[in-house]
Amino acid sequence: MRKSLKLKELGPTDIDKLVCVRGLVTRVGEIIPEMREAMFKCTLCGDMQANLIDRGVISEPSECKNCKAKYSYELIHKISSFSDKQHVRIQEMPDSITEGDTPLVI
């Protein structure tokens, strides 16, 4: 069995990791698509190039590797890859709060 963390124990080292926490879900957002890999096509020669998305930033190729044209790529949504994203608000469990403290909400 894996150890579950308290919300107060979460820190910067837990970013981009799968962790187990105990808490009460207080709000759930809509499920929205998030682009993971962007596919670009050169408008001049048709060359295709895939770029991974890094923390929500799409880096468009500046030069075509095939025809050497500058800024000739366009984003093709239909063949780019997406995953689902959802924001969840979690509150500390009542049994882990010391008397008089307000619960931590993340």
Distance, in Å, from the CA atom of 46 to the CA atom of 52, rounded to the nearest integer, reads 19
| Higher-scoring residue by pLDDT: 93, 46 | 46
Q: Which two tokens stand for residue 37?
A: 């890999």
Total domain count, the chain: 2
Model confidence at 1: pLDDT above 70: no
Model confidence at 44: pLDDT above 90: yes
Are both 65 and 97 inside the same structural domain? no
Q: What does the pLDDT average to over 7-23?
A: 88
Are both 101 and 74 inside the same structural domain? no
Q: What does the pLDDT average to over 7-24?
A: 88
Tell me the whole-structure pTM to 2 decimals.
Answer: 0.62
Quote the mean pLDDT of the chain: 88
Are both 98 and 59 inside the same structural domain? no
pLDDT in the model for residue 73:
94
Are both 49 and 76 inside the same structural domain? yes
Over residues 73-105, the pLDDT tens digits come to 999 999 999 999 999 999 988 877 777 677 777
> Which structural domain range is residue 66 located in?
32-85
Q: What does the pLDDT average to over 18-47?
A: 93
CB burial of 27-66 (b: ≥16 within 10 Å; e: otherwise) equals eeeeeeeebeebbbbbeeeebeeebebeeeeeeebeebee
Beta strands in the chain (DSSP E): 24-28, 32-42, 48-52, 73-75, 81-85, 88-91
Q: Which of the 8 DSSP states describes residue 45?
A: T
Are both 25 and 36 inside the same structural domain? no
